[in-house]
Amino acid sequence: MRLFRFDNSIAVPRKWLTPHQIKRYKSSTLGILHEPEEEGHFLEALGSLSERGAYLNIGAAWGYYSLLAKKTRPDLDVFAVEAHPKMCSRIFEGSMINGVNGISVFNSAVVGKDGLNDGPMKIKFGYGASVKSANSAEDGDSMIVKLVDMGGLLQSVPNSDLLVSMDVQGSEEGICRDLAADPSMAARISTIIVGTHGADIHESCKGFLAEAGFSIILDEPAPLEQPDGIILASSQ
């Protein structure tokens, strides 16, 4: 099996990555990392979690951040949430390749509470895929997915000191809205990192997080060396 190795020692089958991704990784001035402008902040937040804390990786894809969390903090509970079952299988395969274990994988798409009323949703297999109405035209390997909102997801996570990261291709706005509407959910999260998809969504998420009681630590709608915007917010 031909592996692609990141500078942080994470290794994955090269075939999991697109040519565009590999080109972006190798051309970065900050090292061969998946999201170089975000990763340092992620590791700092990960290191500050208590032993009773946990990392919740929403929109995990093949599990880059889940693997990195387990390699960095083997003692920590790690929960990876991913909509497509093929990607969930890759999290388990990636765990074996990287010599880690103990990642709990949930096969669900996380949406805002209002999104639960939109009827059946489906997702196409591939990196960066988003959930769409089951009635929409969609070519390729698409399938109906299970939906859960943040409230339902947190019922399956017993820890109270959470680092949350999410990359959910536009669904982040509804999730952040729910955090603003329910302070009890936000109170369990010490740090949240949101990948944003578009300037309007970025501003909306930032406002909802502030309304939920978070302090905005990093506000970068258009990073130079990674494709998505970044919001880093802390409740501490």
pLDDT digits (tens, 9 = 90+) for 199-229: 999 999 999 999 999 999 999 998 888 888 9
52: three-class secondary structure by DSSP: coil
The CA distance from 156 to 230, in Å, is 26
pLDDT digits (tens, 9 = 90+) for 158-187: 998 999 999 998 899 999 999 999 989 999
Residue 59 has pLDDT above 90, yes or no: yes
**Domain architecture of the chain: domains with CATH:** 33-234 (3.40.50.150)
158: three-class secondary structure by DSSP: coil
Q: b/e string for 26-45 if b means 16 or more Cβ within 10 A?
A: eebeeebbbbbbbbebbeeb
Residue 105, token pair as written in the block: 């994988």
Quickly count: other Cβ atoms within 10 Å of residue 49's Cβ: 21
- State in Å, rounded, how far the first CA of the chain is from the last one: 44
pTM passes above 0.85 = yes
